[in-house]
């Protein structure tokens, strides 16, 4: 089994993760710990914890890809109502905590007991003012496990995986609770918080992001290394034993590139053997973070953030027609590679990577087959060189 480490967010790499699991790769997903929107926002504001949403979503994706969708995964995928009055939402949540949910009766007693203990641990931490709207039961269980195990997120993830019978790994790139993302726009303005950066308005998107960084919330300076979150040891271990390292697809600046701002991540990747492929899967469409950019410009951002020669390969979606096309309001991301860039930079593999049935999304089996080809070719090249 080839060991693959993937850096990205919760949903951008979903189909590719499932395809890798089905091909029986040993997958480790590395996800952000700094999400500041949705259910994660409510948890972070109330309990000062790192973002649970991307972790839980990546675990559920892995469970799906591994064929583990039983009662536990279905229970963890449940969400509370969206617009009910607060007393009704609290009653709905207490229905899960009480053990009355029908799915719980189908679980083994030990598993059911552990889940209820974690839910009760979570319940004991929140007050009556907590925002339960659209709250994820899986997020609540993971947060309860986090507190039950002495605020050790790696242990909480380990027990969550065991409850779901998941083989693969999911780790946040840092275990720092206070990690906060900021973006420096090209006009000098600074936007703080992942939820605000991913939702840049039209004017902000046109100005564009110059760089992103991470700091520990409340720090006086963004620039001092002492204020920057440090790498999760589990991630450093995974990088050190990887057969291939992959970035994306997903929100480029906030879910992919930002990992290189975690102290120790870029250094660990640079320290891997030269024959370990480091592959960037380019997005097919632009988004508010990449309006007006080309894939070549995003590769340049990698070099600035992680150092030159960080990447060995780039997967670029090949444009088959000479017309500007738009899907759901977003244009297709252009390549922008000149001949000199192709000769001096990472190897660009340009193919029609778009899913024929879902415009703007990757054909996951084709991407996985390309990754396998790269790994095999690098291995064969190494053998030939040694001979």
Provide the pLDDT for residue 64. Answer: 95
Provide the pLDDT for residue 383. Answer: 44
CATH superfamily of 179-386: CofD-like domains (3.40.50.10680)
> Which of 318, 319, 313 lies closest to 299, judged by CA?
313
Whether residue 171 contacts residue 154, with contact meaning beta carbons closer than 8 Å, is answered with: yes
Question: Can you state the angle between helices 153-164 and 137-148, rounded to 10 degrees?
Answer: 130
Q: What is the rounded distance in angstroms from the CA atom of residue 184 to the CA atom of residue 207?
A: 11
Q: What is the rounded distance in angstroms from the CA atom of residue 115 to the CA atom of residue 98?
A: 11
CA dihedral 89, 92, 98, 104 (to 10 degrees): -140
Q: What is the rounded distance in angstroms from the CA atom of residue 212 to the CA atom of residue 190?
A: 9
Residue extents of the structural domains in the chain: 69-165, 179-386
Buried b (16+ CB within 10 A) or exposed e, 124-156: ebbeeebebeebbbbbbbbbbbbbbbeeebbeb
Identify the burial level of 102 via C-beta atoms within 10 angstroms of its C-beta, where 0-12 means exposed, 13-18 middle and 19 or more buried.
Answer: exposed
Q: What is the pTM of this model?
A: 0.93
Provide the pLDDT for residue 385. Answer: 33
**Which residues are CB-contacts of 167 (< 8 A; sequence separation ≥ 6)?**
26, 66
**Which residues are CB-contacts of 234 (< 8 A; sequence separation ≥ 6)?**
154, 169, 171
Number of residues that make up the chain: 387
Q: What is the rounded distance in angstroms from the CA atom of residue 15 to the CA atom of residue 58?
A: 11
Q: 179-185 and 190-192 as β-strands: parallel, antiparallel, unpaired?
A: antiparallel
Provide the pLDDT for residue 322. Answer: 80
The rounded average pLDDT for each run of 10 residues, N- to C-terminus, in the chain (387 residues) is 86 89 95 88 92 94 95 96 84 94 96 98 91 94 98 98 97 96 95 92 92 80 67 98 94 95 96 94 93 94 90 93 86 84 81 93 95 85 44
Compute the C-alpha angle 214/13/278, nearest 5°.
70
Q: What is the rounded distance in angstroms from the CA atom of residue 162 to the CA atom of residue 108?
A: 13
For the chain, how far is it from start to end, CA to CA, in angstroms?
A: 25
């Amino acid at each position: 089994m080839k060991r693959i480490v993937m850096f990205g967010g919760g949903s951008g790499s979903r189909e590719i993760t499932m395809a890798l699991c089905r091909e029986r790769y040993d997958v480790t997903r590395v996800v952000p710990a700094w999400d500041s929107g949705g259910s994660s926002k409510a948890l972070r504001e109330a309990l000062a914890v790192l973002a649970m949403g991307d972790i839980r979503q990546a675990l559920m994706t892995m469970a799906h890809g591994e064929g583990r969708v039983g009662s536990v995964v279905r229970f963890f995928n449940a969400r509370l109502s969206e617009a009910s009055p607060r007393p009704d939402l609290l009653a709905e949540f207490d229905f899960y905590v009480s053990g009355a949910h029908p799915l719980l009766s189908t679980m083994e007693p030990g598993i059911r007991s552990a889940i209820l203990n974690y839910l009760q641990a979570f319940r004991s931490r929140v007050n009556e003012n907590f925002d339960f709207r659209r709250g994820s039961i899986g997020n609540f269980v993971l947060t309860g496990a986090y507190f039950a195990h002495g605020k050790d997120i790696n242990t909480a993830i380990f027990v969550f995986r065991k409850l779901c019978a998941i083989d693969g790994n999911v780790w946040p790139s840092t275990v720092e609770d206070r990690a906060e993302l900021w973006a420096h726009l090209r006009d000098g303005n600074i936007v703080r918080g992942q939820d605000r950066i991913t939702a840049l308005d039209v004017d902000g998107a046109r100005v564009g992001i110059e760089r992103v960084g991470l700091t520990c919330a409340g720090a006086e300076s963004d620039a001092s290394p002492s204020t920057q979150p440090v790498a999760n040891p589990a991630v450093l271990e995974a990088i050190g034993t990887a057969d291939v390292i992959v970035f994306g697809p997903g929100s480029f600046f906030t879910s992919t590139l930002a990992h290189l701002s975690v102290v120790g991540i870029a250094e660990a990747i640079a320290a891997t053997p030269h024959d370990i492929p480091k592959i960037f899967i380019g997005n097919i469409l632009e988004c508010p973070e990449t309006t007006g950019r080309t894939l070549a410009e995003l590769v340049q951002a990698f070099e600035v953030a992680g150092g030159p020669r960080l990447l060995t390969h780039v997967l670029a979606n090949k444009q088959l027609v000479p017309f500007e096309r738009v899907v759901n309001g977003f244009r297709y991301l252009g390549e922008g590679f000149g001949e000199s860039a192709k000769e001096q930079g990472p190897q660009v593999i340009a193919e029609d990577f778009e899913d024929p049935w879902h415009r703007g999304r990757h054909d996951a089996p084709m991407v996985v087959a390309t990754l396998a080809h790269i790994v095999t070719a690098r291995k064969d090249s190494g053998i030939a060189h040694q001979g």
